[in-house]
Structure 1
């Protein structure tokens, strides 16, 4: 038996951080969503453990950052050491606030984040949630999609209609399967044992830095997480731990370099196959994918979840435009055009770091890495530009920005820009402009604007809702053209 006549703007398959963030971003534009998830509740144990300042800024835009701060540990950086403990590569993450308005690197406990996301969603009348259900089919028509799901509690099939469907349903994505996309594999595939421990007492000797032990016989990652939580990730090869059965005595022997059963309790163990893949297509018609459904990377940069949150920020305002103004193929195609090259940079760098950690000749691999991502023995954080999409070719021949993330100025009121103008286009200008089309940040309301624009040699910059630069104006005439452009108003101001 099938039942159901509900119609939503967007159906999101998957209630993890990516799907939940996307729903909250869409709600800024009064988009009505339904989230479908197979699980009954939040997975209560650690999974993702790191995000950066760009992701904290997205959380700021959905108004959970302030509450989340209390649950975080500011990460001072990552160090790569050889089997003797000698430093090979340093990746410092300074504790001062970055131009994004937040710290550069955070450690977190994923259930803490998900509880805050779900609390925010529970207070939002635009977002509906159906847990304990399996999506059975996704069918597309010219003007809508039909989603069939099985309610495991009611033991009945239901169907709903929506303008769009976004699969945020993880590495074994049903939505990706329906998309019929090929997968690009970057070759890194290894079995690792992940151990999450809860210390009985503080152990400062373990250190605050993330440590990568570059030992070809037993590569290990150590993570200092919030409170008394600590994580070890240990390469185990194909022969170790047959059938994924983890023997406690063997486990404690492996951890004995750092902790004993008297020091900690084991909160969780899991065997993962770290992979490095990306789907070649993320959108077909009214079906899209995001997060682990679209890409997987080894954890050596702590960017797996971050990539999914960036997907949500890039996609949300584009879907909102299509909901309000009608399907726009160019705009939706820009999602994968921009995001695939961007996330690929992170995947390839994570693979390079994984090869360094597992290398029998780490000094040789370190030289290759330094040529790409580090100077003076210290690794630099990645800040890649978005891929070139048709959006950048469609803005009336204005001088264009490069798709680089823009900083967050503080206003004279002491508020950050995104607290006042969350997830919407903003014009940052060296002169105040009287316009009704979008918010304007200028030296009249922010002391930081002059320096930010001077660095870019710009008169003004148009910032997209996801905080990437769309267009740079070199003079007052170009600034007026940007702010009054019909194309700009339709795509970025009137959503």
Structure 2
């Protein structure tokens, strides 16, 4: 066995180079942290999987430096159309706002290999990231007396290597070796299991369908259709007992399923035909020592709200800046407890929401079908319903050492700061970059301004943007973390007491209770 001396000593080893792992690698590199990322495959896995991300995740892509590249391979989603078992429109919710407070379209359709290629290209630009594909991780050891170890085999040479980083991020999917290594197990959240057939079709023909998500609300065979690119289309069908992928392996066999949308299948190419089991699961533990699990290793979300991949990217965003702070000695190690404290309840809430949406659209048997056919055409006219159905805002984070969220009541702490235009075409994120920001009204007193400047915290005057001023409201000030979550909000005195502090000018530690 060889100690891995061919790669500069990594601060973080990331297991898995899917969207979650690569996002973490890029964020860590942007924070000056050296990473080694390991994956079973040398190239991007070619099969499409996720097809949707929301404005919050698009905003993350912007902070990774790939928003323009993603725009070129994605199309904004037009909304949601709910259909009866006979494919009559019961309700339609159109998206009319081109951008949200995050600065990007609310729903975005894409082909996952395209996104992964963009992320990989960005990763390869960064000198602090070393990627090793065609390797198999054989062991993760959280506690060795001198930090964690990751053992892996180079499948080209069959040589074994050991890496000894400061932290390990297990982004290794639903069958995670890392989850097993930290003694964590998946908890069922009561959804059971549904088997679905996923069909991806490529065609140069314009099928002429409405550009949103078509959801067939049918207790016998629920179905979903969406256009995910200029030439790509996705259908998903709930499988019946006795059916599997082999049942529909030809276009002729697929024809009855596709018929409500298209009867002429000329020019259709089946890019992917796969059976998926939809599950609702949450790991009971996300960390052991300096080893963490992220993404599908930590949670599995039914796809009814298109948030599975996004949840993993949120994990990476939440953990990466904290780990970087600990590595750079600007945050105490105990803040890493806030990763699970903040992310696990959030992931649970999103899983529960997906379960509720799935059941409301497909559950209840024949009685449920009749109820939906009767009620949906009526409730679509309720004031505010369209906004609630299409709203992509996710839950507020639970109070932790790094956000002062009140246990009860409202407030900005634990929420996302908006990303408005601050003038001259520069949005909040571009001005602040990967630093803390202090959002205030007007100018600071001389002493406060001196302290903030010494700590390299960016001061943003809320009054330069009506959107930012409206968000801040009557609150005097808000301290925004590098991941854009509000750490503290309230009086200027209170927020200044939570400001970063350090004995070194280049440091940005946070004063903790």
Would the TM-score normalized by the shorter structure come out above 0.5? yes
Equivalent positions of 1:14-413 (< 5 A) are 14-139=16-141, 140-188=143-191, 189-204=193-208, 206-241=209-244, 246-259=249-262, 260-325=264-329, 328-359=332-363, 360=365, 361-362=368-369, 377-378=385-386, 379-381=389-391, 382-392=393-403, 401-413=412-424
3-state SS of paired residue (1:331): helix
| Counterpart-to-counterpart distance in 2, 1:478 and 1:68 | 40
Contact conserved, 2:17 with 2:37, CA < 8 A, in 1?
yes
Shift of 1:248: 4.3
Deviations 1:310-341 (A, max 9, x none): 11110011100111128845311110110111
| Counterpart-to-counterpart distance in 1, 2:288 and 2:499 | 32
Deviations 1:358-413 (A, max 9, x none): 22214657989x99xx9655325243111222333699xxx974311121121222
1:478 to 476, 486, 494: 494
Task: Show structure 2 runs of 5+ residues with no match.
Answer: none
Cα gap change, 1:394 to 1:20, in 2 (>3 Å): same
Deviations 1:420-447 (A, max 9, x none): 2223221111122323120011057555
Cα gap change, 1:337 to 1:71, in 2 (>3 Å): same
TM-score computed with the length of structure 2 as normaliser: 0.87
Shift of 1:238: 3.8
Once the two structures are overlaid, the 10-residue window that deviates more, 402-411 or 305-314, is 402-411
Shift of 1:479: 4.4
Contact conserved, 1:330 with 1:391, CA < 8 A, in 2?
no
Paired residue for 2:441?
430
3-state SS of paired residue (1:162): coil
3-state SS of paired residue (2:249): coil
Paired residue for 1:439?
458
3-state SS of paired residue (1:217): coil
| Counterpart-to-counterpart distance in 1, 2:70 and 2:254 | 33
Once the two structures are overlaid, the 10-residue window that deviates more, 248-257 or 164-173, is 248-257
2:479 to 462, 468, 471: 462
Contact conserved, 1:464 with 1:492, CA < 8 A, in 2?
no
Deviations 1:85-126 (A, max 9, x none): 344454543342111111111001111111111111111100
Paired residue for 1:491?
509
3-state SS of paired residue (2:285): coil
| Counterpart-to-counterpart distance in 1, 2:35 and 2:403 | 29
Contact conserved, 2:404 with 2:413, CA < 8 A, in 1?
no
Contact conserved, 2:405 with 2:414, CA < 8 A, in 1?
no
Cα gap change, 1:238 to 1:320, in 2 (>3 Å): farther
Contact conserved, 1:432 with 1:443, CA < 8 A, in 2?
no
Structure that is richer in strand per residue: 1
| Counterpart-to-counterpart distance in 2, 1:230 and 1:70 | 17
Task: Show structure 1 runs of 5+ residues with no match.
Answer: none
Deviations 1:14-36 (A, max 9, x none): 00111001111111211000000
Paired residue for 1:450?
469
3-state SS of paired residue (1:70): helix
Cα gap change, 1:245 to 1:73, in 2 (>3 Å): closer
Contact conserved, 1:429 with 1:449, CA < 8 A, in 2?
no
Aligned residue pairs, count: 483
| Counterpart-to-counterpart distance in 2, 1:114 and 1:310 | 16
Cα gap change, 1:193 to 1:375, in 2 (>3 Å): farther
Shift of 1:150: 0.5
| Counterpart-to-counterpart distance in 1, 2:124 and 2:394 | 34
Shift of 1:155: 1.2
Contact conserved, 1:197 with 1:267, CA < 8 A, in 2?
yes
Contact conserved, 2:404 with 2:414, CA < 8 A, in 1?
no
3-state SS of paired residue (2:116): helix
3-state SS of paired residue (2:322): helix
Contact conserved, 2:419 with 2:427, CA < 8 A, in 1?
yes
Deviations 1:157-188 (A, max 9, x none): 11111000001111111111111113221232
Q: CA RMSD in A?
A: 2.8
| Counterpart-to-counterpart distance in 2, 1:244 and 1:37 | 33
